[in-house]
Structure 1
């Protein structure tokens, strides 16, 4: 699964890992915002790696958690969903607006293979100092460079380099920074 090969999501080990992530996200989403230390402890036990400063508004959902790697000074606003069947790497000083979706999970285009229930993943990488606006969608296999701003509602279907503002569906460069 992590290497991008076809896999069966109903594998016993994967079911167990997803249940563990669901229980931790449930715990996070039920922990009071007044208990910041407990929330950080839960996030750090859920994610593969984090920086010291991390803040996630509830609700937050992910598939496995262990495939999520975020840098220093990470912020995710309300309703963030990250499907991390393979690696999601987010650099330092990155901010996600409300209801941002980052997806590594995908399915075969061939309907026979897809209907057999097999899936695969493509990693997502987001550089340092990025801001992803509300309701933006980052699709499987996308890499964003440093200092990228993604406009609200954008659907990012391909990779972009450093220092750009992107937006639209599909996303395109709006301007260089």
Structure 2
């Protein structure tokens, strides 16, 4: 089954909503079945993997490859551009939209989190939650072990260093890392001469 538009509208709303919304559990279960099929597909059957990805995700561009296992709350709110790559153990908390631009590379054990829960204990007891979209630009590199929190935008061409906690927007064309993640420098001439530390191209 495809996820009903009414449920998508609830999850994309800017306010607090509750996980017991009618039909939500059944719709999510169907998505998780697709995710199970993808994670258990054979490496020698790439066409089946592509077909499952087209059904599971909101959008999948050309030549995008995801290394299983992938973990996702839904899948249907994640939009992949073309020529993207994600290494193993990508976690998508995609109760609202995650948009990933063309040529973006994602390292292993990365978590993209669109959803949080209210600080108010009474609302958490009722499974209250809220969501804010994540936007990752074109040709971004996200290093291993990075966590991106709700509402963050990462600009085109930027690099996020390993194990960073990204709590705020990152502009285009910079190297940023840390916990919390901060812009360290712009991408410049040095990067066109050296590919890593003192190693020249």
The TM-score range, normalised by the shorter chain, is over 0.9
Q: Measure the CA separation in 1 of the matches of 2:23 and 2:15.
A: 16
Unaligned 5+ segments in structure 1 are none
TM-score w.r.t. length of structure 1 = 0.96
1:58 to 65, 68, 72: 68
Q: 1:18 & 1:34 partners in 2: Cα distance?
A: 28
Which of 141, 148, 151 is residue 141 of structure 1 equivalent to? 151
> What SS does the aligned partner of 2:171 have?
coil
Alignment equivalent of 2:56, drawn from 46, 50, 75 = 46
Partner of 1:110: 120
Note the C-alpha offset of 1:114: 2.2
Q: What CA distance in whole angstroms lies between the structure 2 residues aligned with 1:125 and 1:174?
A: 20
Match of 2:108 in 1: 98
Q: Secondary structure at the match of 1:43?
A: helix
RMSD, aligned CA? 1.0
Match of 1:19 among 29, 45, 50: 29
SS of 2:17's equivalent in the other structure is: coil
**1:4/1:86 contact within 8 Å kept:** no
State the secondary structure of the residue aligned to 1:119: strand
State the secondary structure of the residue aligned to 1:12: coil
Matched, 1:4 2:4: no
Say yes or no: does 1:165 pair with 2:175: yes
1:37-56 deviations in whole A, cap 9, x for unaligned? 11111111100011111111
Give 4+ residue runs of structure 1 displaced > 6 Å after superposition: none
SS at match of 2:23: helix
Q: Tell me the residue number matched to 1:126.
A: 136
For 2:47, which of 19, 26, 37 is the aligned residue?
Answer: 37
Q: CA deviation at 1:115?
A: 2.5
- Structure of higher RCO (CA pairs closer than 8 Å, 6+ residues apart): 1
Distance 1:4 1:80 in 2: 25
Give unmatched runs, 5+ long, in structure 2. 1-10, 188-201
TM value normalised by structure 2: 0.85
Q: Aligned with 2:157: secondary structure?
A: coil
For 1:14 and 1:4, how far apart are their aligned partners in 2?
18
Shift of 1:118: 0.5
